[in-house]
Each structure stands twice: as C-alpha cells, then as structure tokens.
C-alpha cells in the first residue's frame, strides 16, 4: 500500500483526513482508527511526520486537506496547544464552508469534553493563551483559532474516554 505522501503525489483524492495531535493519540486511538478505515477500503490521510516549528500547511498536506471529503479532527488534551493542529482546523472549516454541503466534519472528543473545546474550561482556554504569549502571536490569529474551535464544537461528535487498562 502506498504511503500518504505517495498517494498524494500521484494525485489521489482522499476520502478522509485525520487531524490529531501526535503525542496524544498517534500510537493508540488514531492508529487504530486509521487502520480500521483503511482496512474497509476508505482512503485516509494522516500526517505521519511530526511537524516542525515554523512549517506551513502546503504541498501534499494542503492537497490532502483540499481533496478530502470527510474530516475527522480528534480533539485530545493537547490538541489546542499545537499551532499546527489549529491551522489545520481553520483550513478544514474553510473547505467545508465553501463545499456547499459536499464535505463534512465528524469530530471526536478523545479524553476531553465538548466544553473543553468550547473554551469553557481551562484546558483549551489556557492552551490558546499560552500559545499567544509564548509565540507572541497576534490577537487576530488567536481569535481565528478560538472561532474555529467554537464553530466545530457546534457539530455533534463522539466522546471517547481514554482507556486506562
């Protein structure tokens, strides 16, 4: 089977784009979800590389977001502390908005509550504030991320409790 990058360079369209914070879910939940979807014949994109500071959404990752029909953001405990995840989320919402109903978002709340994503608890609220302070980001940029989190939280999703076995 071709890797995500190989399929994108060949021009394939993905059916599903997974947006997730690697350290939280890459090895467990997201990996199982990725393989389960692939095993049923669904073409899924996940970024297998850790994104480095200062990188932009472009190239194969941008094409994967643009060409996917379903987006699955996996909101986890540190999702909002990643500029990369928040940028992906903004792009996902923009693509969904302009798709005239042809694309959809299916959020998963992994070990977080919808209220966390709505910024009603310290978990995501403080993560955004820390990004703003530590990275010296503009209020405008941070407001775009806040708006995106509030917008996606309005979509009914699935709550998944972290397995502690």
Q: Which of 49, 50, 88, 140 is catalytic?
A: 88
Q: What is the CATH number of domain 4-112+156-160?
A: 3.40.50.10140
pTM of the complete model: 0.85
Cβ atoms of 86 and 75 within 8 Å: the answer is no
List the one residue out of 128, 127, 122, 159 whose CA is nearest residue 29: 159
- Per DSSP, the residues of 138-165 read -HHHHHHHHHHHHHHHTS--EEEPPP--
Mean pLDDT value across residues 108-121: 96
Q: What percent of the chain has pLDDT over 70?
A: 84
**Residue 20 CB burial class (10 angstroms; 0-12, 13-18, ≥19):** buried
Q: What is the pLDDT of residues 32-87, one digit of tens each?
A: 999 999 999 999 998 765 445 455 556 778 889 999 999 999 999 999 999 989 99
Specify whether 104 is catalytic: no
Distance CA 8, CA 2 (A): 9
Q: What is the pLDDT of residues 89-114, one digit of tens each?
A: 999 999 999 999 999 999 999 999 99
């Amino acid at each position: 089977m071709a890797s995500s990058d190989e399929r994108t360079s060949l021009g394939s369209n993905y059916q599903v784009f997974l947006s997730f914070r690697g350290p939280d879910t890459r090895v467990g939940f997201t990996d199982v979800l990725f393989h389960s979807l692939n095993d049923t014949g669904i073409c899924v994109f996940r970024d297998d590389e850790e994104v480095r500071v200062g990188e932009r959404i472009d190239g194969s990752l941008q094409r994967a977001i643009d060409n996917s029909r379903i987006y699955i953001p996996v909101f986890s405990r540190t999702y909002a502390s990643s500029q990369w995840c928040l940028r992906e989320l903004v792009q996902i919402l923009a693509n969904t908005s302009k798709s005239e109903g042809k694309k959809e978002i299916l959020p998963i709340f992994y070990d977080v509550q919808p209220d966390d994503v709505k910024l009603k608890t310290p978990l995501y609220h403080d993560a955004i504030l820390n990004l703003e302070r530590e990275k010296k980001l503009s209020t405008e940029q941070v407001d775009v991320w806040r708006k995106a989190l509030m917008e996606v939280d309005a979509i009914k999703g699935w709550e998944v409790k972290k397995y502690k076995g």
